[in-house]
Structure 1
Amino acid sequence: MITRLRAAALGTIAIALVGTAATAADLKPEEQIQTRQAGYRFMSWNMGKIKANLEGDYNQQQVQAAADAIAGIANSGMGALYGPGTDQDIGDVKTRVKPELFTDQEAVGKVAVAFIEAANNMAETAALGDKAEVKTAFGELGESCKGCHDKFRKD
Structure 2
Amino acid sequence: MNRILASTVLGVAALGFASTALADLKPEEQIQFRQAGYSFMSWNMGKIKSNLEGDYDSAQVAAAANAIAGIANSGMGALYGPGTEKDVGNVKTRVKPEFFENMENVGTIAKNFIAAADNLSKVAATGDQVEVSNAFGKLGETCKACHDEYRMKD
Fold conserved (TM > 0.5)? Answer: yes
Structure 1: distance between partners of 2:17 and 2:108 = 20
* Number of corresponding residues: 139
Deviations 1:116-135 (A, max 9, x none): 00000000000011000000
Aligned to 1:44: 42
Deviations 1:67-88 (A, max 9, x none): 0000000000000000000000
| Residue 153 (structure 1) shift | 0.5
Q: Cα RMSD between the aligned structures?
A: 1.5
Structure 2: distance between partners of 1:86 and 1:22 = 18
Tell me whether 21-30 or 48-57 shows the greater mean CA deviation: 21-30
What are the equivalent positions in structure 2 for 1:38-77 lying under 5 Å apart?
Answer: 38-77=36-75
> Structure 2, unaligned stretches of length 5 or more?
1-14
Structure 2: distance between partners of 1:21 and 1:29 = 15
What are the equivalent positions in structure 2 for 1:1-155 lying under 5 Å apart?
Answer: 21-155=19-153
Structure 1: distance between partners of 2:59 and 2:104 = 37
Tell me whether 20-29 or 43-52 shows the greater mean CA deviation: 20-29
Tell me the amino acid that sits aligned with residue 143 of structure 1: E
Structure 1: distance between partners of 2:148 and 2:42 = 16
Tell me the amino acid that sits aligned with residue 56 of structure 2: Y
Contact 1:20 1:80 in 2 (8 A): no
Q: Tell which has more relative contact order, 1 or 2 (C-alpha 8 A, sep 6+).
A: 1
Structure 1: distance between partners of 2:62 and 2:19 = 29
Q: Which runs of 4 or more aligned residues in structure 1 lie more than 6 Å from their structure 2 counterparts after TM superposition?
A: none
TM-score, length-normalised on structure 2? 0.87
TM-score, length-normalised on structure 1? 0.86
Q: CA 1:19–1:121 in structure 2 vs 1: closer, same or farther (change >3 Å)?
A: farther
